[in-house]
Copies of this chain bind each other. A is one copy, B any other.
């Protein structure tokens, strides 16, 4: 999956939040200074070309919606990152951030709990 450019990503973030929307609605969710209507319109059509969104036509007006979910995209993006920066090892990545104290004790405890559940589940197959 291709990476989103900065401008594209901003539009996708809005669409992921809205689930679907007309250009006008997407525009409303931008922070000031808002880009021009046409700027958003162009980007959304580029996203359509790239296969990230599609639209439903109501006469001449288009309602856009994501085809690639935020989860799918983040999965793809993080996999590339883990591959490039942590020799494809999630363990290395998570350990690094745990040691860097980017993850709080509370979060770590929560993560351990979830992992225990996952480990149990996957071993019972």
Contacts and interface: CB of A to CB of B under 8 A. Distances in A.
B118 A84 contact: no
**Complex copy number for this chain:** 2
Interface in A66-112: 70-71, 73-75, 77-79, 81, 84-86, 89-91, 93-103, 105, 107-112
A75 B102 contact: yes
A115 B114 contact: no
A84 to B, nearest CB: 7
A115 B118 contact: no
Nearest to A92: B107
Given A115-B112, A118-B99, A13 B107 contact: no
A105 B119 contact: yes
Chain A interface size, as a band, is 35 or more
A105 B90 contact: no
Nearest to A90: B103
For the complex of A and B, 8 pairs with smallest distance between CB atoms? A91-B107, A74-B85, A108-B115, A90-B103, A95-B114, A91-B110, A112-B112, A94-B111
